[in-house]
Amino acid sequence: MEEANGVCNGTVESRRPPHVAMLVTPGMGHLIPLAELAKRLAARHGVTATLITFASTASATQRAFLATLPPSISAVSLPPVDLSDLAPDAAIETLMSEECVRLVPALTGILSGLRETTRLVAFVADLFGADSFDAAVAAGVPRRYLFFPTNLHGLTLILHLPDLDVSLPGEFRDLAEPVRLPGCVPIPGTDILSPLQDKSNPSYRWMVHHGKRYRDADAILVNSFDAVEPDAIAALRVPEQGRPPVYNIGPLTQTNAASPAPRAACLEWLDRQPPKSVIFVSFGSGGSLPREQMHELALGLEQSGQRFLWVVRSPSDEGAVNANYYDAESKKDPLAYLPDGFVERTKDVGLLVPSWAPQIKVLAHEATGGFLVHCGWNSVLESLVHGVPMVAWPLFAEQRQNAVMLTEGVGAAIRVPETKKKEEIAAVVREVMVGQGKGAEVRAKVAELQKAAEEGLGEGGAATSALDGVVHKWIGGEEK
């Protein structure tokens, strides 16, 4: 059949909707923004999409999320891949990168199939998926894009890694001076991306490798917006030989999140709280705290005198702060680890939700006045989109870097001191919620960023125009 073989004449071909294939490396934090990009492409440009996921993340949370997507977006899972030869303590970044390379043949098969059944105009891979460009080339997909779900600071660092690998011997954490990159807030070595903190760990080599491979993309789409890192976007707009063009297309945050009936109990609870009186406490899809810090956080919240809504997970033993990464469900009853009497003492001002909360709805609620956040980029964007000032408590991945950028750069958060004592936690929480000094500045800045984000995503806004330009290249087809 002419059409099914994808060799049809221009008239038939142009009647089929353009289709994009997106590779989603593990983590809800990767899936959510890519799905959002797919939704925007469908709504504005009539582009259909296939989200290609990894078998290792076929969790109930992920399945439920995929089930909420509109019919223009389908999902297909890659087959399971054997990683049993890797070290038992291999870093997440290593697992994802290895999975991606080992899945190139299977992905080539899926992309070849999509070329036959759809008008496949582009392949988009996310930050750990650049090796999958090989599959796109083998399957003859015309364009390869990288979707970077965090920010320009993170992207700039990865793009510079192959050079830094040569120019900065030794460990980042031992550097006397912060790392200075074009347009970026100087980042102290200890706050640099966690997989780069031990150069003997394979995850470091993988990141250097990704920094090289990003250059194979036709362009890089970033889930950030100009107002939150103005100097970084200015630096990246200066063309550089061999570096793909970079477009800010964010903030893409989850819209039309599923509304399970009955409405979540925590939202009913928020309905009963005064406006902007509650601090929401959450550490992303997979973060959990060591026992000791969980204890101090509980007492700090209590001492702050502020109302709180806390998504509690059982503690990470032996410092494995990303223990829940591949599956957001807490393995044990997390409430059992709280200080004695805490639940009873705080029952009138606090609500504890085990494992998972409808975060977008919580942030959108008028009772929410602050967000104690692990600085995962999706959470940060969701906070900014809803005008919620932040208390930064970074854990792993690029979260410490994000905390530096938010606190030392744009000024949208105050960071909890490294010592994490209950008095310090209480003071920072109070300042962000009701303080008249730094807290008031942060609240004003966040209101400004909320407005800028909204304008950018509106008709004629910077993010909308950038994505329009990209799609024009896909559909126009004459240039990449």
The burial class, CB within 10 Å (0-12 / 13-18 / 19+), for 271 is: exposed
User: According to the binding rule CB under 6 A, does residue 99 interact with ligand UDP?
Assistant: no
Residues annotated as catalytic (active site), given as ranges = 30, 126
CA pair distance 53, 63, nearest whole angstrom: 11
Residue 5 tokens read as: 């073989």
Q: How far is the CB of 329 from ligand UDP (least distance, A)?
A: 11
With beta carbons less than 8 A apart as the criterion, state whether 46 and 121 touch.
no
- Amino acid at site 457: L
User: According to the binding rule CB under 6 A, does residue 376 interact with ligand UDP?
Assistant: yes
> Which segment (28-36, 103-111, 197-205, 425-433) binds ligand UDP by CB under 6 A?
28-36
User: According to the binding rule CB under 6 A, does residue 342 interact with ligand UDP?
Assistant: no
3-state secondary structure of 392: strand
With beta carbons less than 8 A apart as the criterion, state whether 98 and 106 touch.
no
Q: How far is the CB of 301 from ligand UDP (least distance, A)?
A: 17
> Which segment (105-113, 173-181, 222-230, 279-287) binds ligand UDP by CB under 6 A?
279-287
> Which segment (24-32, 70-78, 183-191, 384-392) binds ligand UDP by CB under 6 A?
24-32
CA pair distance 188, 180, nearest whole angstrom: 9
User: According to the binding rule CB under 6 A, does residue 401 interact with ligand UDP?
Assistant: no
Contacting ligand UDP (CB under 6 A), which of 26, 27, 300, 350? Answer: 27
Beta strands in 405-472 (DSSP E): 413-415
Q: How far is the CB of 360 from ligand UDP (least distance, A)?
A: 6
Q: How far is the CB of 287 from ligand UDP (least distance, A)?
A: 6
Q: How far is the CB of 208 from ligand UDP (least distance, A)?
A: 22
CA pair distance 35, 58, nearest whole angstrom: 16
Contacting ligand UDP (CB under 6 A), which of 56, 132, 359, 450? Answer: 359
User: According to the binding rule CB under 6 A, does residue 311 interact with ligand UDP?
Assistant: yes
| Sheet of 48-53, strands arranged across | 73-77, 48-53, 18-23, 119-126, 144-148, 219-222, 246-248
Contact positions with ligand UDP (CB under 6 A) in 251-270? 254
Query: For 272, phi and psi rounded to 5 degrees?
Result: -90, 0
Residues at the site binding ligand UDP, with contacts judged by CB under 6 A: 27-29, 32, 254, 282, 284-287, 311, 356-357, 359-360, 376-379, 382
